[in-house]
Amino acid sequence: MKCAALLIAVALFTGCETFEDSFYKRHQLITIHELIPRVSPRMGKFERAIMVDGQRLYVRRLPMLASPGIASAEALESRDGTFHLALHLDRHGENLWTQAAIDYHGRRLVFMVDGIYRGTFVARSYPGSGSILVPIRLQADDAMLIAEAAEKNYKTFGRNQ
């Protein structure tokens, strides 16, 4: 019995990539986090530092909105040729975003995909449409990849209400 468990563990955990690497490469998971304007001297386990263009930014580790609340996404071309994302939320996502838009109105939020910084945007009042516009600048390929993965992620991780 112990031998079988050991063989299974070896089979599962061998390979060039870690589980986390392969997990993120497949999924394009979206998370939106609070940007912390000033870090306290006692940065705790609830914040983390990320480097962006040589500058250190501090974000909350726990997202205010993530892929399980995003039913689908759409890549929208902007005037300058880059792309923004429209996130279409389920009921749970709408509730989370409504609260976040109230709590963080006018403050900068961090948009991440697979734990990697993709941009910041300002939280605005929630219009009640079930969708939010994330006005960050993405290249066409990146925007399309994220948008296509959003519905798959929702089916895999979402609440399916």
**pLDDT tens column, 55-86:** 888 888 889 999 999 999 999 999 999 999 99
Domain containing 54 — which CATH number?
3.30.1360.200
Placement of tokens 């759409």 in the chain: 74
Residue 126: closest CA among 112, 109, 139: 109
Instruction: Compute φ and ψ for 49, nearest 5 degrees.
Output: -100, 140
- What are the residues whose beta carbons fall under 8 Å from the beta carbon of 35, sequence distance 6 or more? 57, 58, 59, 107, 108, 109, 110, 120
The predicted structure's pLDDT at residue 85: 94
For residue 38, being part of any structural domain is answered with yes
Beta strand pairing call for 116-122 and 65-66: unpaired
In this model, does residue 112 exceed pLDDT 90? yes
Quick one: pLDDT at residue 63?
Answer: 92
Residue 80 is assigned to a structural domain of this protein: yes
Residue-number span of the structural domain to which 92 is assigned: 28-157
Residue type, 148: E
Return the pLDDT at 13.
Answer: 43
In a domain, 115, yes or no: yes
* In-domain check, residue 125: yes
Residue with tokens 């929630």: 126
State the Cα–Cα distance between residues 20 and 112, nearest whole angstrom.
Answer: 16
Among the residue ranges 13-22, 42-51, 100-109, the one predicted with the least confidence is 13-22
The structural domain count of the chain equals 1
Cα 57 to Cα 39: distance, rounded to the nearest angstrom: 9
Residue 149 lies in a domain: yes
Residue 140 within a domain:
yes
CA distance 22 to 52: 24
Asked if residue 25 has pLDDT above 70, the reply is: no
What is the spatial distance between Cα 5 and Cα 142, in angstroms, rounded to a whole number? Answer: 40
Supply the mean pLDDT for the chain: 80
Is residue 12 in a domain? no
Asked if the structure places residue 61 within a domain, the reply is: yes
Give the pLDDT confidence score for residue 100 in this predicted structure: 87
